[in-house]
Structure 1
């Protein structure tokens, strides 16, 4: 009976070996790779390969066997988690690293596309062999549902950690989409295409720089369809006037936003927000969008602050940063990521891999910069614009290439072990650290008042008071009391072989 885990990852069968060949194949080590489709550690082993007939030895197989674990993937995932914690918890003190209020790209804006890029790379590695398609599809659906469940639980409004010790959510206001939900959608589409097109791939990779693209034309076709749907909807959909209500302790005010236009890429009347208002309902959207930090809304821009007296009505309105239409555009990030994974599988030499990766990374960056500075399509995370996809995917490709060169080619693994450990237990760090579940648990043990807890005491007395600066103290707290803590804990769990897997 085969191990279901190996079947899921496309490794359920080993090639049939003649009796006389057993000794030749005995003892071959199976390499492990990682599936980050749900920001988690997945292990994959490669099969032993039987001797090929003499007449087929000259052929270059489309899928090449890897002989060692690619540590770059873990380190890059760990880096993304570290940046996420940094910008989430220190972004309030340093607005320049927090999400851009609208057009532009800050450090925080790289987190989501980097996750999706990793999802794509890992899907290529995990699904390079799929002997049982039906079983693989079943596992893809199950993992997608798990991601959706955790996304709604953590970001739907049920959890109020770490500051508020209460829990629960009014179902009339639950937020349906979020970070894990977007990852779930991209993972589902990209992994499904990869699985269903297994038998449509050629057996031999043709020579030439672009052969890798033609070999996986169905994956690129899926990305192109997502691109067309997004672009047509964004520029052709008519956006009418809309209204919303703001409730406070004393009164309820209703605001009207006048639109009546197509192709608008500003905060008020874009198609991305209109689709979410129609599909989810205005009460189910994120109520504190980053556009409230725009100069048109507050004098404190780019930081948060009180609204201007003459601030436009839309400044107070809701907007879903991980919305439906923008998540369709995000499928492109996963498609580009899976291409990098395909290059890793098919090209044996380090130089060949880096040539493919770096050339594509710089091409995407150049295209994005041209689109942005010509005002054709500005770089915008909230809309997940095409230029934003290109810019962040290009940056991900360059950084991934640099990590690969340092870690897997030059062997400088030790300086990056900290990131590897976090990347191996990314789901645990995301839930416990980035979503503040562990801090919320610790805050539950307070003295006299909920504010008088261990987390606040450490931040105030060990960092802020020592440096006499709230900004510097907050930054050092995030680096040493959060990121370093999770790195050490992840290292300990790795030594104990303990991982959180969906």
Structure 2
């Protein structure tokens, strides 16, 4: 952990954020190519995990987005620490109204920036017309869910936060299962027949991701707030000084198992589904998010094995920059081909495909290292 001015920065959190983002910026292509090249069963299984499920179910690739949102929740109790110290209070809900107003302004600004960046990723600046622009986005959902999780955190003690958490999950299950959709009825959890999709078709402007449905739609953003709250609970627990680090790992793993099992049990009645961000999905992936965090915390912050994680730290400390870059702002593949293309031509498929994937990630890491050395970080 890095300590500075009374605040604590978990190195493992940045590393986990980088690990999570690594698969989006090129790790998935490396794994697919490795599986194709070696034909090893373990790598073939891992390659299969790097595809989204068509509808119900969950793969590792389905977890990447919620893990990132979970991490933003974990960071929240630490990011407010200076405000608490300056106001001489222990809990965020004890902050003076004047201080809270400043915090709200900062949170609104961050949310609006993320919504705008999400629109840019979706092609806003191509000016293809209102109807051809997709307004829902990954970054937009992160901003909105983080914002409302923060509002709950700032204004409620832990008991009330838990009531909000379970209320969101149970309330979402009730409306999704029992409110009828015209032409389909109640509880039809298909892409076209679900209440979430119906609301998107009615109220979400512009283009939907899947014509009749958007995975970052309006209604399914509500349970995403619960994903952010799971991160808040984890961050609050990590700030607690009553437990030794190793004991924290035990409790985190225990919580992870309980959430995963509960999610699997609820799956029998309310299917685990990333596109609908179902309540069972929140619990199941929330459990895995805590498990991954516990593992990274144990290895990096408790045992002190940090050097191996440096590439992930480069990614995690500038995650928004690299996400925006790989989503179309920068063509790393062209640069990689210019530098490594001549050497790669001496190989044949599938080895050449693997080398191309590796070369792109190398260029991305060099870019991130340049930003790191020059202390250039995008703070949103």
TM-score range, shorter chain: 0.7 to 0.9
- Residue 494 in 1 paired to residue 375 in 2? no
Q: Is the 8 A contact 2:209 2:215 kept in 1?
A: yes
- CA 1:188–1:461: 2 relative to 1, 3 Å: same
Partner of 2:254: 359
Structure 2, gaps ≥5 residues long:
34-46, 88-98
Residues 112 and 171 (structure 1 numbering): CA distance in 2 closer, same or farther, change over 3 Å? same
Of residues 326, 344, 352 in structure 1, which corresponds to 2:238?
344
Matched, 1:286 2:216: no
Q: Which of 308, 314, 322 is the equivalent residue of 1:421?
A: 314
* 477, 484, 490: which one aligns with 2:356: 477
8 Å contact from structure 2 (residues 170, 279) kept in 1: no
Q: Distance in 2 between matches of 1:339 and 1:387?
A: 18
- Whose relative contact order is higher, 1 or 2, with alpha carbons under 8 Å and at least 6 apart? 2
Conserved 8 A contact 2:314-2:368: yes
Deviation at residue 356 of structure 1 after TM alignment: 2.2
| Residues in 1 aligned to 2:131 and 2:324: alpha-carbon distance in whole angstroms | 25
Cα deviation digits, residues 313-368 of structure 1 (max 9, x gap) = xxxx4421111111111111111111110011013411331122111111111112
Query: How has the CA–CA distance of structure 1 residues 135 and 487 changed in structure 2, closer, same or farther, with 3 Å as cutoff?
Result: same
Match of 1:322 in 2: 216
SS in 2 for 1:467: coil
Q: Does 1:271 align with 2:195?
A: yes
Alignment of 1:305-320 (within 5 A): 317-320=211-214
Cα pair 1:104 1:379 within 8 Å, conserved: yes
Q: CA RMSD in A?
A: 2.6
Q: SS of the counterpart of 1:31?
A: strand
Q: Does 1:31 align with 2:8?
A: no
Taking structure 1 as reference, are residues 96 and 84 closer, same or farther at Cα in structure 2, changes over 3 Å only? same
Once the two structures are TM-superposed, the CA of residue 91 in structure 1 deviates from its matched residue by: 9.2
Counterpart of 1:80 (choices 13, 20, 29) is: 20
* Distance (whole Å) between structure 2 residues aligned to residue 428 and residue 325 of structure 1: 28
Write out per-residue CA displacement over residues 13-40 of structure 1, whole angstroms, 9 at most, x where no aligned residue: xxxxxxxxxxxxxxxxx924xxxxxxxx
Q: Secondary structure at the match of 2:132?
A: coil
> Which of 139, 142, 146 is equivalent to 1:180?
139
* Equivalent residues in 2 for 1:16-415, closer than 5 Å: 31-32=3-4, 45-46=5-6, 69-86=9-26, 97-128=50-81, 129-130=83-84, 131=87, 132-155=99-122, 157-158=123-124, 167-197=126-156, 201=157, 216-241=158-183, 260-281=184-205, 283-287=206-210, 317-347=211-241, 348-372=243-267, 375-415=268-308
Q: 1-side partners of 2:338 and 2:367: how far apart?
A: 21
- Return the alpha-carbon distance in structure 2 between the equivalents of residues 268 and 149 of structure 1: 28
Cα offset, 1:173, TM superposition? 2.3
Q: How far does residue 267 in structure 1 lie from its aligned partner after superposition? A: 2.4
The structure-2 alpha-carbon separation of the partners of 1:473 and 1:274, relative to structure 1 and needing over 3 Å to count, comes to: farther
Question: In 2, are the aligned partners of 1:464 and 1:474 still within 8 Å (CA)?
Answer: no
TM (norm. structure 1) is 0.65
Q: Distance in 2 between matches of 1:318 and 1:86?
A: 30
- Match of 2:36? none
